[in-house]
Structure formats: C-alpha cells, structure tokens
Amino acid sequence: MSRLPLLCAAFAAALLGACTQVNVHGDPQGWLRSQTDASATLRVATYNTSLYDESAGGLIRRLEAGDDNARKIAAVLQRVRPDLVLLNEFDYDPQQRAADLFQRRYLEVAQDGGGEALRYPYRYLAPVNTGVPSGLDLDGDGQSGTAARGDRARGNDAWGYGLHPGQYGMLVLSKYPIDDDAVRSFQTFKWADLPNARQPRDPATGKPWYSPAVWPQMRLSSKSHWDVPVRTPLGVLHVLAAHPTPPVFDGPEDRNGARNYDEIGLWARYLDGGAPAWLCDDQGRCGGLAEDARFVIVGDMNADPFDGDGMPGAIRQLLDHPRVAPGPAPRSEGAPERAAAYGFARKGDTAEHTGDFGPKAGTLRLDYVLPSRGWSVRERGVCWPRADSEAAKIADASDHHLVWVDLAD
C-alpha cells in the first residue's frame, strides 16, 4: 500500500540553553521494530501546532482534560505518518509531561478523521529562550522585566517573547534513535558574536537600539537552534530545528526583523562548515556542520521568500545556500483557495503558502523542510486540503499547516 497519506493524496498526486539530562527519550525495542519495518524512503515533516498556553502548566492541564485541538493535530500526524517531525509551539516542561500526554493519549489513540495510532519511540526536547527572564530592559521602555510588571511587558523583556519559560517550545519526534551525545544546541549563543550581525538601530538617531550593556548579552535565538543527529535506515540525518521570531511586533527600529534575519542566518553560517572560533554551542563545542553531513532544515522560519513583513532575502540565505537541495516547493490546494478569498496581492505562488494569518495578514509561506543536496526527493506537500473536503475538519487546529518531504538515497 502506498505511504502517501490520505489527507494529502488528492493534491500531492497532482504535484510532482543548555540541555537537561532528560532531553532524549528512547526505547531500544522501538528501534528494533523500526529496523524491521524500514522502508526505502524517509518522511520528514514540520508542523507549528499552536499547542501552547499562556499559563505555566496550562498545556499539561488541557491535555489531561482532553483538548480538541490536540486531537486534530494528532489526527493530521496519524494521516501523514512522518518518520521524523518537528513540532513548533509545543510548550516545554522539564518533566516532559506534555510530551508524554500527547504521545499516550492522543498519538497512540486513533483519532476521528485520523489514521491508525502512531507511536514515536524517540524524542528530543530542551529548554528554550521564550519566557525566560533576562533581567534586562530589552524592549527599551526603561524598565527590566519583573514579576511586578504586567505579563506583556514581562514577556517583552524575556530572552524570547513569552509569558512563562517554555512557552512556544519545540519538540522533535522520531521513529529512529537520536544520538543524544552528538546533539548540539545554540540557545545561549550571543547575537553580537554573529559576524556582521544586523544590530538594530533607531532610525531617528542612527544609534544602536540596544544599549552597550545589553547588546553583548543579547541571545540570538528567540527559542533555540538544535542540531539533532538521528540514526535512520538511510544513514545519520542531522535535523536542524529552529523557530525564528516573527519579524513584527516591534517599532521602526525593526529589531524583530533583524533578529529573524540573523536567526535564519545562523543556520546558513552553520552550513558553511569549517571551524570558526565564534560558532560555539551550549556544550562548548565550536565549528560548523561537517562537509559530508546530510541534513534537513525544519521549522517555522517566519519568513516568506516574496511577501510579508520580513527583511528581504532572509529565507533566501537558506533557499539559495549551495548545500541546500534546489527544487520546487511543497504545494497544496487549500492555500490558493484561501489566499483568493482574502484577495491580497502576492508576488509568490500562493499554492506554496503554509499558514493562514487572518484577514489582516492573509496567507504566507513560513514553514520549511529543506534537505541537503544528495537526497532524492520523491514526494512533498503541504497538508492544507480544500475547505469543502472532509479532511478540512482536522486541518484547522493551527494557523499553520504541516509540511512534509519524502527523502531517498
């Protein structure tokens, strides 16, 4: 039977911080089972799930009580059945309770509109910068974030915007074992350490937006950047996961636009390889990705190649990188239908869009699965069905849609 998921079949067929010690969750028997069932292709996906809550522990409580959106997210994953998937905007908790609940009560239970139960023996999750107090005045209002201030003001002074540590976190789920000793994270990497960093400036004065006391301490990653090596039947695959900040919610200094550009740029520099002394991870290891390493970049990059509010060329740093495989973008039938309803003028192909951001922003391509050269891409797609299809009932749990790519040797 074809591995093409029923959810996407109709339109895909028409288209050719430091890590804790409990980051990696594994099951040796699961690895043995996966080897028995290994196929000739590897399906990799990214999905911004919007499974976050504004209160600490809120997602856990929702998953315990039964969450309709979580059921729909699980149903989509059961239909697509990726071998590896990055979930963006999945709240992090150190005990992994939310990840456990989502696995046991949602993925491992057949959902309405979904497919058969789905199990991932391995996962990676770690602290992120969102909601972590910096103790500094990052938004330029003259005050540093404290518990006495309002939630929004406190969130603006966190290393990455968030109302509690771990909000908008990331979670990698895998059918294959993760090499936990080789994982690299760049949660605490300083923005000022990036060569030619786009330091935000006040356009009225030309002076740097961040003070001389703040700029050297400012972290680049709004969540984190992870290099997660996975031992697949097709060899080791480096899953390069990130979720750069949206290039909006700031002022004329465009500090979020600059940060988004440089967060994306960090992966471009990482792909350049070599051993630059400035490119050091949270574990103290320095240097870029090995030249012979095979990888896939996944995540909500908050940057459209043609439209939107991002700095021009931001995502092109990856799309045009010589190590990234060229090729057509994943497409869907639902995206152009939705884009036409909004009527925004777009330079890019709306069939390649991955998210619906309402009547004020329209649709955009923000989510990416970008494999390295050397892979054969068999199929690809965005799981955004037409509004009149039965599958649309489970595809509305998030303002983003799952993007997947099938890789082969």
234-289: per-residue pLDDT in tens?
999 999 999 999 999 999 999 999 999 999 999 999 999 999 999 999 999 999 99
Distances (CA, A) of 234 to 38, 68, 137, 201, 409: 9, 36, 47, 46, 7
Residues of the chain with pLDDT > 70: what percent? 89
**Pairing relationship of beta strands 235-242 and 295-300 according to DSSP bridges:** parallel
The CA–CA distances, whole Å, from 99 to 107, 125, 137, 292 equal: 10, 9, 33, 33
Q: How many whole angstroms from its chain centre is CA 14?
A: 27
Counting every residue written for the chain, the total comes to 409
Residue ranges per structural domain of the chain: 6-130+165-408, 131-164
As its CATH architecture, domain 6-130+165-408 has: 4-Layer Sandwich (3.60)
Tens of pLDDT, residue by residue over 94-136, are: 999 999 999 999 999 999 999 899 999 999 999 999 999 999 9
Question: Helix or strand or coil: residue 142?
Answer: coil
Secondary structure E strands in 155-288: 170-174, 184-185, 225-232, 235-242
Left, alpha or beta for 196 (phi > 0: left; psi -120 to 50: alpha)? left
Tens digit of each residue's pLDDT (9 = 90 or more) over 277-298: 999 999 999 999 999 999 999 9
* Alpha-carbon span 332 to 86, nearest angstrom: 20
**Confidence at 23, pLDDT banded by 50, 70, 90:** very low
| Paired residues of 201 in beta bridges | 208
Q: How far is CA 183 from CA 28, 122, 229, 237, in A?
A: 18, 14, 6, 12
Q: Give the number of other Cβ atoms within 10 Å of residue 113's Cβ.
A: 18
As a whole number, mean pLDDT of residues 209-232 equals 97
Predicted TM-score (pTM) of this structure: 0.91
